[in-house]
Every structure is written in C-alpha cells, then in structure tokens.
Structure 1
Amino acid sequence: MSSVPVLRTVAEVRAWREEQRARGRAVGYVPTMGALHAGHLELVKAAEAAGSGAVMVSIFVNPAQFAPHEDLDRYPRTLDSDVGKLAALGLGQATAVAVFAPAVAEMYPRGISTTVAEQRGTFVEVRGLSEMLEGGTRPHFFRGVATVVAKLLHIVMPDAAFFGQKDVQQCCVLRAMVQDLHFPVALRVVPTVRDPVDGLALSSRNVYLTPEQRARAPAFYRGLCRARDLFAAGTTARDELIAAVRAEAATEQLDVEYVCLSSPDDLAEVQAVGSGGAILSGAWRMGTTRLIDNILLGFEF
C-alpha cells in the first residue's frame, strides 16, 4: 500500500495543511493533470530542495481548459501509477507528500462545460497575456488554467508553487495572476526536463506519438538549440533566430504552427532580443498531437 495519502475533498486538504503548519513545515505545491513523468517528479524534487517540509501534488484533469473539440476524454488518467511514482521517489524522511485528486464536482460545484458560453459561476481571466501565443488558437485555455490554479492555490495555501518552463506562457500568466490578486505564494519556474538522448521536452502528450512521429519530433528542439547558438554568437534579430528553428524543423517536415520571439514581460512579439531578454517559443503538430517548446534567451525566471 502506498505511503502517500490521496485526499479527495477540500476539507481534507485544509486539514492536512493545518497539520503541516502545526509541525512548522513550509508547504510546496505542484499542480498537475496526472500521467506523471520525470518532468513532474523533478518539480516535486525542486519543492523539497527549496526547503518545503511538505509537498502537495494535485492531480486533476481540468475540463475548463479544454475546448469541446479537444482531447479531454482521452487525456490519460493514471492515478494509481502516479501515486506509486511519488511513493517511490525517495524524498527525505522529513518531507511529507500528499496527493489531492478531487472529483470535478468538488472543484466546480456549479458544474462545468467545455463550452464557455454555457459555463456558470466564478472564473479568472488574465487579460492581455492570455491572448498572446497559445491564446491565438486556444482562446479558452488560459481562462481555464487561471481559474483552476486560483482555486487550487486557495485550497492548498502553499508557501511556494512549482511550475515547469515548458509551459512558459502559463508561467507568465500565473505569475501575473499571483501578483495582481496578491496571492501570498512564491511562484517558482523549474527548467524543462528533456529526454537525455534527443532533447524532446517531456510531456504527457508524448504517449500519443507513433514511433515514427517520436523519432521526428525532436527536430523542433534542435532548431531552438541552433537559435540559441546563434544568440550566443551575437545574433539577436528575430528573423534570423526564427529562421534557424524553421529550417531545422523542415528537415523532418514538421507541421509548425508558429514560432515567436516574445518579450518576457507581456509576450508581445519583438524584433530583436533586448537587454531584458526574450522567449523563443513555438508549437507544432505530429498528426493529431500538438506539442510546444521554448528556450529563454538572455534572461532567467
């Protein structure tokens, strides 16, 4: 039997949080949608390394961030395996780990539809940042993300929350939300965890790739690396950096949706990497699977 407790209700999480507070433990929080891989586990390790005496991992496939035509129903749900991976992680004995795996009705007591026009209740929007990049093709997405993370932060009440850089726009959106709504939590961004052989960013959606698609997919990251090398050699121009990514992606005939060079502050497209740095990011499709990746140029979170 797993040594990691699985909590199902808000009341159980708040009782757990009070227990940790009574023991003088700082609480680190890692929100996930499950199907845990090494990238998620690295966030848990980062929480422990940052001094969290207790770590809460939420596992919740959030309907509000899916559109009706997207993959909500087939998104992998592997709770038992996920809990086993956390139990086997081997954190220090002084670190308490728990999982919050609520039902949809617990998180959305008024019900939830993937159709925005049908939704009722309270939602959170981060205007501006949410409309950039991914927001161009997924206008519903960051409204759903901001809403569920605001709920989860309010439920867990952590001292720090840990997110992966792979979802860089999400990090920017949530950083703004935390600042604007005065959440008493430190938001930490952990570098993207990649396949050690070919550099493909770890993602729960990688399981959808066929062997042939999986072999071709890393070409986008190779393009990002080419652009990073150009930047290190002095190239700052948007067109040259983006061309390097697209050229490498073309070697495997990737279906590139976009490549952008963006300001870290507002995600607006920039013509060159300035003194404040820039985010080089993009999305591409492998059959019905959509992947994203990015690198940071001239700055760190």
Structure 2
Amino acid sequence: MGSLTAPLETLTPTSPFGLRISPLSGSAGEFHWGQDFAAPCGTRVYAADAGVVRAVGWHPWGGGNRVEVDHENGLITTYNHLQAIAVKKGESVEVGEVIAKVGTTGSSTGCHLHFETIRNGAHTNPLQWTLQPIKQRDELGNIEMISYVPGTNAPKGAPTWAIPVRQDNSHAVTGGNAEKVVPPPPEPPVTEPPRKAPPPPVVEPPVVPQPPPVVVEPPPPPVVEPPVTSPPPPVVEPPPPPVVEPPVTSPPPPVVEPPPPPVVEPPVISPPPVVPQPPPVVVVPPPPPVQQPPVVPPPPPVVPQPPAEQPQNFAPTRAPEPAP
C-alpha cells in the first residue's frame, strides 16, 4: 500500500480490522472498520499525512468525536473516539501535525484511537500500510480544542462523512470490504414444488442386544506415608557474655597553678636639663654703594666751513690740421 506516519507516538494494537466479537454486545459477526490502538486519554493524535480536513464532528455510527482528512490521492484517514478536536473543516494540515487528543467518546469501552484508511471509497486494513514512527521533540504550547458531544456547546450542523449514513444509522457490509449500501435482494415468488411419489418405507435392521461393557476400575493408588522426620535439635542459647567492670581509675592530680611572674617596673628616665640658647646674631649686610653716572663733556661747537672750490674742466685745444 505504501507508508504513512503513525497517528500516535506509541502504537499498541488491540482490536484489528475485520470480523470480530462485539466488545459491547458480546455477539459474533461484527465487522470492525479500522485498527484500534490503546493509549491514555489526552494523548496527542497526529495527522498520518498532509491533506485537507474534509469533516469534523459527532459520528452517528458510534465513532464519537471524529476527524476525516482527505489526502487528495484517493486516500482518506479517519480518527475516532476523540476527546477533543484541534482542527476545523477546510483547514490544511501537515504530516505529523497535532489534530486531536485520544478519548473514549461514542461506542467505546475505554481510552483508545480507532484509526481508519478509506481508499477510493472502500475501507482497507490500516496495517497494510507501513506506519512510520513519530516523536514530538519540541515543546508544544496550549492547543485549543473542541468537543462535539451532543448536548454541549458544540458547533451545530451535520458533517458530510466520506461514507454516507442511512437514516437508521445502519452500516451495510458487502464482502467484508466495501461499505456501499446494498438493497436487499427481491424475494422469489412462492411456487409449490411438484408432488413426488412417496419414498419407499425404510426397513430398519433388527436390534441385537449388546452385553454391557465391562468397566475395569483401576486400583487405587498406594497411600504413601510421609517420612517421619526427627524433631529438630533443641535450641541452645549461648550464655550471656560476662559483664566486665571498667577499671577504677585514681583521681587526677591537683592542678598546681604557677605563681605569677613579678611585675618589673621600668626605670624612671628624667628628661635632660634644658640649656637656654642665646638668640642668633643676625648680620645685616651693608647697602651697595650708589654709583654716579659718568660726566659726559658737551660736544664742541659746530664751525661752518667755507664751500670748497670746484675744479673746472677745460677741454684742450687742438691745432687745425693742414689741408692736403
């Protein structure tokens, strides 16, 4: 068939798929449409594969709180007897997503999950699929869930289940696999069979008396006397151990306290005599001599000088050259 993810972390198969004795009425011949897995109420239920939630609600065949997931490949998985449901119709779910909690609603005798696989409109044995184990490692927060038990504050409306339900909530079985409602066959017309000649009389052989069987009774088994056992030897109690008196010890010698050491007074040291010292002699240095500035003689008077005569430059005269 293929493989699916296990709907529970721990699979404990109980009632299998197929004909069984009804756990409610005790009558034989009831067809069980899924595989039951025992689990405590409140255990997380996981989606066996990714798909779309096609129906949720109260199932009239005794499934109690029920979820149907359409995996859009001809396969529908259903989860029944749930305590509460965490998904709604039309929602998409991932493989391994928490969709409900295990319960015991509907026609149930204890906490368990009724798991169904419907392929192409007919139920199949869920154990024909390889159920891959699942383990929730991340801590989950509080998931809001709803119960559809009649008489509570459950949402109204009748879901459209994968397998239609009759008005009388009956569930016809044809061949142990298909679930389509089969009309009863028409009754044949009543016709009288042709009359036959009476059969010849049956001649019984004479009864020969048989001697009664000889019952040989087996001899009674010999009575085996139990062996005589000698009485147990007397219990000899050991003598109590002698009481050893502790030796008498002499009292401890008196404690002699040594005399305190003599108190030695330190010698009194007189301070040295104070010799008055003469006041120090302060030597005042003489003031520096006052230096007089040197006497600068006045400059000599300026005598005006007569202007010097400038020499006159006379060009020499040349004699006229003779004519050629």
The two structures share one fold, judged by TM-score above 0.5: no
Bigger Rg, structure 1 or 2: 2
Taking structure 2 as the reference length, the TM-score comes to 0.18
Q: Which structure would you say has the larger RCO, counting Cα contacts within 8 Å and 6 or more residues apart?
A: 1
